[in-house]
Amino acid sequence: MAEQQPMTEAAYYILLALLHPGHGYGMMQRIRELSGGRLVMGPGTLYGVLSRMSREGLIVLTGEVDRRKTYAITDQGREALRREYDRLRHMVEDGKIMEEAET
Amino acid sequence: MKRRYRRHFDDYAIGENEKLYSDMAARGWFLEKRGSYFSRFGSGKPADMRYRIEVSAPRFLEETWLPEEQVAVYEDCGWEYVTSCGMIHVFSSPAGSDAPEFYADPAQQAATLKVLRRNYIWAWVPVVLMVLLNFLMAAAMSGGVGETLSKWGAEFRIGWVAATALWLFFGALLVWTFYLFLHGAWRMGRLYRRMKKGIPLDHSPRGRMLPHRIVSGVLLGFVAVFGLLTLWQWVSKDTRDLPEVADGPYVLFSDLGIEGERSQLFYDDRTSQITVERSLLATHYDVFEVVGEGGSNWMYQDVYRLSSLVDREMFVRSLMENSTFARSPSSFREVTVEGLERAWVAGDLECMAVKGDLAAYVTVLKAGQETDETLKLALHALAECWANEGSQVR
């Protein structure tokens, strides 16, 4: 299996938000909450990332109510998210050396 | 419901268009439809509205509309889809709503402008390719690039003299269109580079692009003036049956001493006619006469009374280049005819004459006399006619 490229911040948070299926506006609110207000995403960016991840099979369209489309993460998406999480965690652990050097 | 149309800014002026639609809404005119050049507004209660434009980025031969899913995401976020034209898609939202901007990062929005930018840069390619293809086909059929170039040059020069206003109209239209594309490409490139650097799109620009609008307006004015002149030339064109006695600087078979009843060609229902057309640089007499049973004798004449602005030598050469039967100007042999400044014959069917401001190209056939005798008769008749005509000899 090819090595996974680092995810963009937007893709990472969208996958996190879609651990619970959601629609556009709900996803944006959830991402803002998850990032403590640090990451504000517009619908243009959101759609761009959603369509790319949908093509890659990381998310799937699960339903539509009143033109409002609901997306959910796929098993492949969960795996990708887990790998990215592990990669980031390792990076943070590796970075602890910086704190030791400062003390 | 009252409706109103307004000329909107071109596609590259995204912020200016957004502001235009907001300003119109504040005055009680709400965008209903965006066309290629004009936007249609419907009346309503004035309201503070935000308008935002999304640019679609279709791949080659893909449709330009936004995917339904994308529109759904925008609507879910509080934006209402209004209208589309080409790659431009307009959404609106009340000014106080919490509908978020489409892109928080200008660099991401810049990516959506790539295709529009490319279109401005490459819009000329199909036109150039069409002209090139046309040229290559003409070259293949006529036997050479050089020959085709000189034929096209001749046609251009004759067209310039015979239909000056039309040529100016097309020229002005071309310059205006080229200017619009050039300006669009420059503006689009500048916007793209600024956004790539992280400078956000100005949704409410203060400038009204006055210098551009003045230049564009002046060029459009030229297009309109030359268009009207073309219309005037077309309307004032006079086509009528050929009179029994020549009433202009042209000749009839009777002037050549060839008598016969007016008839028509066996393969064509065209009768003996004259068309007089005045351009800005010449008066053109397009004369056709056919006499004898089965249209056995016929004569075409293109007589021009030229303005002093026309390079006569060049024009005559163009007429030779554009002749029906002779392959090139070198096929024309100069002959001396009293009363004419210069005269030429080519083969047994074509001749040309020049005197003062008059130039004539004649194709004539008299049945049973397929030698240059008829041509000489035609040239002598023209010399006599032009002597009486009182042309302004330079």
Q: Which of A23, A45, A53, A70 should one mutate to test binding to chain B, selecting the residue with the greatest count of B CBs within 10 A?
A: A45
Which of B59, B73, B113 has the most A C-beta neighbours within 10 Å, making it the best mutation to test the interface with A?
Answer: B73
Q: What is the pLDDT of residue B204?
A: 87
The dihedral sign for the CA sequence B146, B152, B153, B158: positive
Check B69 against A43: CB less than 8 A apart.
no
Between residues B383 and A64, which one has the greater pLDDT? B383
* Start-to-end CA span in chain B (Å): 66
* Among candidates A25, A45, A61 on the partner chain, residue whose Cβ is nearest the Cβ of B76: A25
Domain limits of chain A? 9-102
Which of A28, A40, A51 comes nearest B69 by C-beta?
Answer: A51
B74 near A CB under 8 A:
yes
Summarised one tens digit per residue, pLDDT across range B148-188 is 788 888 889 999 999 999 999 999 999 998 898 889 889 99
- What pLDDT is recorded for position B61? 64
What fold, for A9-102?
Arc Repressor Mutant, subunit A (1.10.10)
Q: What local confidence, expressed as pLDDT, does residue B391 receive?
A: 45
What pLDDT sits at residue B65?
82
Is the full-model pTM beyond 0.80?
no
Q: Name the residue facing A25 among B69, B77, B105 (closest C-beta).
A: B77
Mean confidence (pLDDT) of chain B: 89
To 5 degrees, how large is the angle CA B247–CA B248–CA B254?
Answer: 65
* Sequence-separated (6 or more) residues with CB below 8 Å from residue B11: B55, B86, B87, B88, B116, B184
Q: Grade residue B316 by pLDDT with cuts at 50, 70 and 90.
A: very high
What is the full DSSP assignment across B137-148? Answer: HHHHHHT-HHHH
Q: Which of B276, B299, B293 is nearest to B378 (CA)?
A: B299
Q: How does residue A1 score in pLDDT terms, banded at 50, 70 and 90?
A: very low
Give the pLDDT confidence of A34-91 residue by residue, as tens digits: 999 999 889 999 998 999 999 999 999 898 877 788 999 999 999 999 999 999 999 9
Average pLDDT of the residues in B338-350: 92
Q: Is pLDDT of B393 > 50?
A: no
Query: Which residues of B fall within a CB distance of 8 Å from A17?
Result: none
Residue numbers in B near A8 (CB within 8 A): none
Structural domain spans, chain B: 3-102, 125-235, 238-389
What pLDDT score does B394 carry? 36
Q: Which residue in B72, B78, B104 is closest to A41 by CB distance?
A: B104
Chain A, window 42-101: residues with a beta carbon less than 8 angstroms from a chain B beta carbon: 42-48, 50-51, 61, 64, 67-69
DSSP symbols for B235-295: HT-EEEEPPSS--SS---GGGGT----B---TT----SEEEEEE-SSEEEEEEEEEESGGG
Structural tokens at position B362? 């004649």
Q: Count the Cβ atoms, other than its own, within 10 Å of residue B385.
A: 22
Cβ-defined contact of A42 to B100 (cutoff 8 Å): yes
Enumerate the residues of chain A whose CB falls inside 8 A of the CB of residue B101. Answer: 42
Lowest mean pLDDT, pick from B48-57, B247-256, B295-304, B384-393: B384-393
Lowest mean pLDDT of A35-49, B16-30, B184-198, B258-272, name the range: B258-272
Contact B75 A67 (CB under 8 A): yes
